[in-house]
């Protein structure tokens, strides 16, 4: 498990190599404001090998945030994170390992008959009830999420997940009402609170694509204040003194800055953006798709690029995402270790200050 001692020692070792506010608070520890993502890439042995090198390079060069999910590359990404952690000279207690459950994962490769796989692996053994599924492939019911947490611990080869996200819960809005999704989240949070008490995870969060950055009228909207309130109730139900809901994840880049610009979440002083609400509620925000899933490598809008530090479009895009007020860490997917080096080099520059960041939107 990531510990205060382990992560602060990691900062002592690498902090001087980076710009201002490179390491940021997470719980009682510190994490790098660049995190390594593991979503994209073919589910092959060759890509596994590339990822293993990339993850090892990241860990041994100043990045102590690893982001994965059980369904990424049909569980191969989790397994390769586990191998890299095992093989690296960096101690496990220096690294924030985050994973997610929600999408029913295949096992190593896409099966010939996905429907039969889901039936045999999940429905027939009673892990998932058919009516709990959305799109035939997504579930956030408590029994399923607990099953997925167990499988993730096994894949990652670790005793405790530092941050466990419920993955894209807005997918459930295709199958049930918003109120029913909140109810299901509350039940699942209560289980996660119990698993915190059992030592299987440290904190949990909610990872989203649309839910937190769209307007409240949007069909995929979920309210962050409502989710935070459900997490408090779940903690009480589980007998914990405080909630362990600690983080949100949402896409954030030059072309998807709605987490900063769209005020959709009712706070004490009216509607607030997801990032602003999260910051005030003590939730760490992790930015996904910081490079627009690779597309920003070919350039940023000039008016934004000229305000950012960095030697390439990629570096400027990374510095945009990690400059947003409230963002703890900008996640960048990279299976190429040279990309990891270039991405980390971005962080030798300082991020923009809050006023400079605001002025981009004026």
Minimum distance between the CB of residue 300 and ligand NAP, rounded to whole angstroms? Answer: 13
DSSP bridge partners of 256: 253
CA–CA separation, 151 and 311 (whole Å):
41
Would you list the DSSP string of 34-99?
EEEE---S-SSHHHHHHHHHHHHHHHTTT--EEE--TTGGGGHHHHHHHHHHHHSSS-GGG-EEEE
Residue from 31, 90, 289, 308 in contact with ligand NAP (CB under 6 A): 289
Establish if 284 lies at the interface with ligand NAP (CB under 6 A). Answer: no
Minimum distance between the CB of residue 74 and ligand NAP, rounded to whole angstroms? Answer: 15
Nearer to ligand NAP, 155 or 335 (CB): 335
Please name which of 275, 329, 316 lies closest in space to residue 98, comparing C-alpha atoms.
329
Minimum distance between the CB of residue 360 and ligand NAP, rounded to whole angstroms? Answer: 19
Minimum distance between the CB of residue 170 and ligand NAP, rounded to whole angstroms? Answer: 9
Q: Give the contact letters, 194-223, x = binds to ligand NAP (CB under 6 A), - = no.
A: -------------xxx--------------
Establish if 332 lies at the interface with ligand NAP (CB under 6 A). Answer: yes
| Contacts (Cβ under 8 Å, ≥6 apart) of 129 | 123, 141
Minimum distance between the CB of residue 269 and ligand NAP, rounded to whole angstroms? Answer: 29
> In this structure, what are the phi and psi dihedrals at residue 203, rounded to the nearest 5 degrees?
-140, 160
CA–CA separation, 261 and 240 (whole Å):
34
* Interactions with ligand NAP, residue window 54-113 (CB under 6 A): 67, 100
DSSP bridge partners of 189: none
Nearer to ligand NAP, 13 or 295 (CB): 295
Establish if 290 lies at the interface with ligand NAP (CB under 6 A). Answer: yes
Burial call 313-346: b when 16+ CB within 10 Å, e when fewer: bbbbbbbbbbbbbbbbbbbbbbbebebbebbbbb
Which range of residues in 21-29, 190-198, 221-229, 286-294 is near ligand NAP by CB under 6 A?
Answer: 286-294
Give the SS3 label for residue 115.
helix
Nearer to ligand NAP, 235 or 291 (CB): 291
Nearer to ligand NAP, 238 or 257 (CB): 257
Give the SS3 label for residue 150.
helix
Nearer to ligand NAP, 169 or 238 (CB): 169
Establish if 39 lies at the interface with ligand NAP (CB under 6 A). Answer: yes
Establish if 171 lies at the interface with ligand NAP (CB under 6 A). Answer: no
According to DSSP, residue 345 is labeled H
Residue from 75, 155, 249, 319 in contact with ligand NAP (CB under 6 A): 249
Residue 359 CB coordination number (10 Å): 11
Establish if 40 lies at the interface with ligand NAP (CB under 6 A). Answer: yes
* Interactions with ligand NAP, residue window 299-328 (CB under 6 A): 314
Residue from 59, 190, 262, 331 in contact with ligand NAP (CB under 6 A): 331
CA–CA separation, 309 and 317 (whole Å):
9
Contacts with ligand NAP by CB under 6 A lie at 37-41, 67, 100, 167-168, 207-209, 249, 288-294, 297, 314, 331-336, 339, 342-343
């Amino acid at each position: 498990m990531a510990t205060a001692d382990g992560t602060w020692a990691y900062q002592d070792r690498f902090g001087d190599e980076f710009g201002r506010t490179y390491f940021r608070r997470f719980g009682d520890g510190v994490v790098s404001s660049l995190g390594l993502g593991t979503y994209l890439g073919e589910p092959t042995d060759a890509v596994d090998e590339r990822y293993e090198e990339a993850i090892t390079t990241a860990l041994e060069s100043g990045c102590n945030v690893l982001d994965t999910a059980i369904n990424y590359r049909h569980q191969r990404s989790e397994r390769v994170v586990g191998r890299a952690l095992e093989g690296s000279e960096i101690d496990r207690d220096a690294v924030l390992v985050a994973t997610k459950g929600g999408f029913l994962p295949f096992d190593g490769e896409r099966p010939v008959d996905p429907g039969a796989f889901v039936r045999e692996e999940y429905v027939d053994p009673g892990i998932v009830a058919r009516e709990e599924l959305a799109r035939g492939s997504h579930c956030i019911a408590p029994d399923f999420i607990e099953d997925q947490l167990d499988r993730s611990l096994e894949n990652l080869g670790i005793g405790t997940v530092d941050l466990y996200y419920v993955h894209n819960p807005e997918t459930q809005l295709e199958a049930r009402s918003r109120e029913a999704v909140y109810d299901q989240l509350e039940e699942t949070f209560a289980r996660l609170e119990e698993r915190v008490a059992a030592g299987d995870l440290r904190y949990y969060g909610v990872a989203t694509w649309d839910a937190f950055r769209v307007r409240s009228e949007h069909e995929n909207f979920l309210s962050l204040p409502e989710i935070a309130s459900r997490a408090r109730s779940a903690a009480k139900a589980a007998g914990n003194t405080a909630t362990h809901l600690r983080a949100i994840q949402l896409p954030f880049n030059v072309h998807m800055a709605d987490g900063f610009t769209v005020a959709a979440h009712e706070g004490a002083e009216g509607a607030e953006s997801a990032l602003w609400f999260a910051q005030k509620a003590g939730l760490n925000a992790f930015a996904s798709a910081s490079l627009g899933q690779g597309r920003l490598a070919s350039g940023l809008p000039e008016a934004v690029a000229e305000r950012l530090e960095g030697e390439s479009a990629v570096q400027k895009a990374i510095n945009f995402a990690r400059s947003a007020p409230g963002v703890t860490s900008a996640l960048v997917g990279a299976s190429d270790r040279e990309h990891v080096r270039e991405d980390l080099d971005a962080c030798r520059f300082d991020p923009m200050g809050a006023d400079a960041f605001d002025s981009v939107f004026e």
